[in-house]
Amino acid sequence: MNEVKKRSVGIIGIGSHVPEKVLTNKDLEAIVETSDEWIVDRTGIRERRIADQETATSDLAYQAALKALADAKVSADEIDLVIVATATPDMFFPSTACLVQNRIGATKAAAFDLAAGCSGFAYGLVVGTQFVQNGTYKKVLVIGAETLSKILDWTDRNTCVLFGDGAGAVVLGEVEEGYGILGVELGADGSGGDLLKMPAGGSRMPASAQTVADRLHYVHMSGNDVFKFAVKVMGEAAAKALEHAGLSSEDVDCLIPHQANIRIIQSAAKRLKMPMDKVMVNVDKYGNTSSASIPIALNEAVKSGKVKKNDVVVVVGFGAGLTWASCVLKWCGEDL
């Protein structure tokens, strides 16, 4: 039997958006017992962006989506599906994807949220790709958007210094053969779920005066355990995605890792035997923006010329769940 030929699928437009307000490590020194020196030394973060009280995740997602659509030269009514990867939706329901679908006017698009922690955007890329690859849809909008600042305990120095807000979006569509997504790797280990969670507010522990008093509506994290997991899984996931693409780390022009901690990024690069000049780093400017970190970093890499047409790009993320995800792409955009 003849195998059905799969379409090549790639990123045909990209954009990102971060709130204007900058919170520096110095600013944090006035909020919790910490120091600029400790934060820079242990994480590489110097500042992060924080959304104002009126701004929700869908507002950042909307702005990023508009930029990605303009970059792709695609109008909202051409979009067939909107996927929003987020751990900080505007509310449980409707989904943030539906809010964005309505606001951009993607009237014929299906829409859903995807929950895979900081790996969410890379998961979304893989999910969105399937629809275009098999011919179900032509254009899919994948967004990673977060307002982690809204669920941080600003009295807990172990977590509040690490995260920031932002959004990144891409339009997926059919590309020339040989370009686009070449190999993927997704994974999960639910046994590590307790290491990183927001305990209350769901059906296990509905919101009550007690859960609020016990500060259970915030990010709770066992930082050291997550660190060990991340160091191991980042290199492994990227290596597997490369293997699926029939490539090795020597073929990679740019690594776009989830921006959580410079030490995790450096150790992933080391495991992949990749020099740091091939690695995109902007954790210093934005902190960990969870599912938004990879599209924000990829957008900056593309717009600054660090990623060019024909480059082999590897994106790799890890996050709550625990989850991990990696995609290998041959960049199909225009040469700058």
Known catalytic residue: 288?
A: yes
Interface with ligand ACO, residue 34, by CB under 6 A: yes
DSSP string, 57-69: HHHHHHHHHHHHH
Any bridge partners for residue 49, and if so which? Answer: 22
Q: Are 96 and 58 in contact (CB under 8 A)?
A: yes
Most distant CA pair in the chain, distance: 68
Site stretch for ligand ACO (CB under 6 A), options 9-17, 107-115, 132-140, 225-233: 225-233
Site string for ligand ACO, 138-157 (x = CB under 6 A): -------------------x
Exposure string for 175-187, b = 16+ CB within 10 A, e = fewer: beeebbbbbbbbb
Q: Read off the DSSP letter of residue 281.
A: -
Q: Which of 98, 118, 160, 254 is catalytic?
A: 118
Give residues 202-221 in contact with ligand ACO (rule: CB under 6 A).
221
Catalytic residue (choose from 17, 258, 327, 332): 258
Smallest gap from residue 195 Cβ to ligand ACO (A)? 9
What region does 44 belong to: left with phi over 0, alpha with psi -120 to 50, or beta?
left
DSSP for 67-104, written as a single string: HHHHHHT--GGG--EEEEE-SS-SSSSS-HHHHHHHHH
**174 forms bridges with which residues in the sheet?**
9
Interface map 279-298 toward ligand ACO (x if CB under 6 A): ---------x-x--------
Instruction: Say whether 332 is catalytic.
Output: no
Q: Look at strands 22-24 and 47-49 and give their pairing.
A: antiparallel
User: With respect to ligand ACO, which residue has the nearer C-beta, 144 or 319?
Assistant: 319
Residue 203: CB minimum distance to ligand ACO, A: 21
Q: Contacting ligand ACO (CB under 6 A), which of 261, 289, 299, 326?
A: 261
Of the candidates 334, 25, 268, the one whose C-alpha atom is nearest the C-alpha of residue 160 is: 25
Of 71 and 146, nearer to ligand ACO (C-beta) is: 146
Instruction: Give the contact letters, 155-184, x = binds to ligand ACO (CB under 6 A), - = no.
Output: --xx--x-----------------------
End-to-end CA distance of the chain: 43
* DSSP of 7-72: PPEEEEEEEEE--S-EEEHHHHHTTSS--HHHHHHHH---EEE---TT--HHHHHHHHHHHHHHHH
**Minimum gap (Å) between residue 279 Cβ and ligand ACO:** 16
**Half-sphere exposure in the Cβ direction for 122 (13 Å, CA):** 36
Q: Mask 294-333, x = binds ligand ACO (CB under 6 A)?
A: -------------------------xx-------------
Is 227 a binding residue for ligand ACO by CB under 6 A? The answer is: yes
Q: Which of 25, 261, 288, 299 is catalytic?
A: 288
**Rounded to the nearest whole angstrom, what is the least distance from the CB of residue 228 to ligand ACO in the complex?**
8
Please identify which residue in 65, 111, 118, 142 interacts with ligand ACO, judged by CB under 6 A.
Answer: 118
Looking at residue 278, its amino acid is K
Enumerate the active-site residues: 118, 258, 288
User: Which stretches of the chain bind ligand ACO, using CB under 6 A?
Assistant: 34, 38-39, 42-43, 117-118, 157-158, 161, 196, 221, 223-224, 226-227, 230, 260-261, 288, 290, 319-320
